[in-house]
Amino acid sequence: MSVKRIALLLSAPVWLLGAAAPAQQSAQATMLPERILHCTLGRAVGLDPSKPQTMADITLEGAHSFVLRLPSVPQHRGEPPEPSADPEPIAPGTAILTDPAGIAQDMTQGFYRVGDLWPQRVEMIGLVDPAPTVRLIIVSDIDETAKTANLFTTRAIDAATLDLDRVFEGGCRIEVAG
């Protein structure tokens, strides 16, 4: 993943870093199924935001298992909410199921905000000590036909202040619950 790609991921409406989850859905909203993402992540080495980089300039080090559960929720429609809106409760079952490498072990308080904009993207914020640092997880490049996605995660203070020593990225296989 290039620094430019990371910037693109974060330049899209990352409304989670100062905003709420999607507004209330109607009672007849289409429900998304439960999704389990089985990911293999590598630590991005060689990121330098001060210069243009291509994927050839960046190495993904390691192959770390990371499994994430996204429960069944109403499908979001419309614009993201205003940044000043309060977050909605996190859907029960939203969880990191497997993280043997401890990539997100710093997320001591669970998820604070989840923006499930499936199939465009999923944005998640987990609380980390010390505040105001958070764990940022973005699921993008979702291909429902191929059942694949990309997962990006790092620690951050805001969308512009990332911990470049803790950037992980990789591909995921999507398992959809029937």
Distance from C-alpha of 113 to C-alpha of 123, rounded to nearest angstrom: 8
DSSP 101-167: T-TTTT-TT-EEEEEEETTTEEEEEEE-SSTT-EEEEEEEEEETTTTEEEEEEEEEEETTEE-GGG-
> Which is more confident, 134 or 26?
134
3-state SS string for 141-159: EEECCCCEEEEEEEEEEEC
Distance from C-alpha of 106 to C-alpha of 57, rounded to nearest angstrom: 28
**What pLDDT shows up at residue 25?**
44
**What phi and psi values does residue 75 have, to the nearest 5 degrees?**
-70, 130
Domain ranges of the chain: 3-20+29-176
Average pLDDT over the chain, rounded to an integer: 82
**What pLDDT shows up at residue 19?**
39
Q: Are 144 and 2 in contact (CB under 8 A)?
A: no
Confidence of residue 55 (pLDDT cuts 50, 70, 90): confident
Q: Which of 20-24, 39-43, 114-118, 126-130 has the lowest mean pLDDT?
A: 20-24
Q: Tell me the whole-structure pTM to 2 decimals.
A: 0.82
Name the residue type at position 167: V
**What pLDDT shows up at residue 146?**
98
- Please write the tens of the pLDDT for every residue from 82-136: 656 777 778 999 999 999 999 999 988 889 889 898 999 999 999 888 778 899 9
